[in-house]
């Protein structure tokens, strides 16, 4: 199939009177890895969450693999049938800043859950897949542990395995290392890097600019609700053209050694 895998046009998002995203056009090709950076409150997480409809769009359209999401009514308003959103979310895996593992399920059950409940696979089949995905994130020995007994890094790796188990076409990472102790960041970033090496399509909202530089095929600097600067990691992170981007990166580099 030709054309972008995911395409966003004219995206606006407001919370009450607060206009967070002010008209975003964006597309992702298969195999692209996009890092989204920006100051806190710039709307980068909101943007990512709009893609799989964790937030409802105030305006704009999203097209997944050529298919426009939502149905337009006779009066022009777009409605999003639940079945369609479930299907979209199944195809766009998401990893959250706070991991959000299901605390009443073991590690293995967490990874099996979507397979059994959503994909309707048999328990045996789901277990095989879950075991494989957990091995991939280096947690083969933690199957029967409760999430509450794991470190933040381990929890996040389980969350990645849970997302992977659904075989998503795109992976969305919403600041996956922001709530981790510094010494645990590496183990999660290594897993994400391994996924990048598999050629997966990924979007990553992050403050880890060094990782973004090595990881991404495209970097987006979001500020004031728009894509302020878009380009290759070298263009945006090493030779930014916009004053705002330069200012942002300078603040990040302030305490570098």
Partner 1 sequence: MNYTIDFSLVTDNWIVLWRGVVVTLQLWIPAIVLGLTGGFFIAQLRLSKRRLLSAPSLVYVELFRDTPVLIQLIWFFYAFPALIGTQLSPFVAALMALALNTSAYSAELFRGGITSIHRGQMEAAKAIGMSQAQAMRRVILPQVIKRMLPALTNRVIEVAKMSSLASVLSVHELMYQGRLLSATYYRPFEILTAVAFIYFMLIYPGTFLAGRLEKHLARSN
Instruction: State the residues that interact with partner 1 by CB under 8 A.
Output: 52, 54, 82-83, 85-87, 89-90, 93-94, 96, 98, 100-106, 113-114, 117-119, 146-148, 159, 162-163, 166
- Residue 85 or 230: which CB sits closer to partner 1? 85
Q: Contact, 8 vs 134, CB < 8 A?
A: no
Instruction: Give me the least distance between CB of 174 and partner 1, in Å please.
Output: 10
- Cβ contacts of 135 within 8 Å, gap of 6 or more: none
The answer to whether the CB of 59 falls within 8 A of the CB of 50 is: no
Residue 63 vs 100, nearer CB to partner 1: 100
Pairing relationship of beta strands 201-205 and 170-174 according to DSSP bridges: parallel
In the bound state with partner 1, the residue whose beta carbon lies nearer, of 17 and 83, is 83
Cα–Cα separations (whole angstroms), residue 176 to 38, 194, 257: 15, 15, 25
Q: How far is the CB of 149 from partner 1 (least distance, A)?
A: 9
Report the residue number, 101 or 223, with the smaller CB distance to partner 1.
Answer: 101
d(Cα 60, Cα 11) in Å, to the nearest integer?
4
Give the nearest distance from C-beta 47 to partner 1 in angstroms: 16
Q: Can you count the helices (H) and strands (E) in the chain?
A: 9, 12
Closer to partner 1 by CB, 35 or 101: give it: 101
CB 134 within 8 A of CB 140: yes
Residue 164 Cβ vs partner 1, minimum distance, rounded to whole Å: 11
Q: How far is the CB of 147 from partner 1 (least distance, A)?
A: 8
């Amino acid at each position: 199939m030709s054309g972008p895998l995911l395409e966003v046009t004219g995206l606006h998002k407001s919370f009450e009177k607060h206009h967070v995203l002010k008209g975003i056009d964006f597309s992702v090709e298969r195999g692209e890895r996009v890092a989204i950076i920006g100051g806190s409150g710039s709307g980068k997480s909101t943007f990512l969450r709009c893609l799989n409809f964790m937030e409802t769009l105030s305006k704009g359209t999203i097209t997944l693999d050529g298919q426009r999401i939502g149905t337009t009514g006779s009066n022009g308003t777009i409605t999003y049938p639940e079945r369609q959103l479930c299907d979209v979310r199944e195809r766009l895996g998401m990893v959250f800043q706070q991991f959000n593992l299901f605390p009443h399920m073991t590690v293995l059950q967490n990874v099996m859950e979507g397979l059994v409940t959503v994909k309707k696979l048999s328990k045996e089949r789901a277990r095989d897949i879950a075991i494989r995905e957990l091995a991939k994130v280096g947690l083969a020995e933690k199957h029967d542990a409760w999430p509450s007994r794991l470190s933040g890094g381990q929890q996040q790796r389980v969350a990645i395995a849970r997302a992977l188990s659904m075989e998503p076409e795109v992976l969305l990472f919403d600041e996956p290392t922001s709530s981790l102790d510094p010494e645990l960041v590496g183990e999660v970033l290594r897993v994400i890097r391994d996924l990048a090496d598999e050629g997966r399509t990924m979007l990553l909202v992050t403050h880890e600019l060094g990782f973004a530089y090595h990881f991404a095929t495209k970097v987006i600097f979001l500020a004031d609700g728009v894509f302020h600067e878009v380009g290759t990691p070298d263009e945006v992170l090493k030779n930014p053209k916009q004053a705002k981007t330069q200012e942002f990166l300078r603040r990040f580099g302030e305490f570098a050694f």
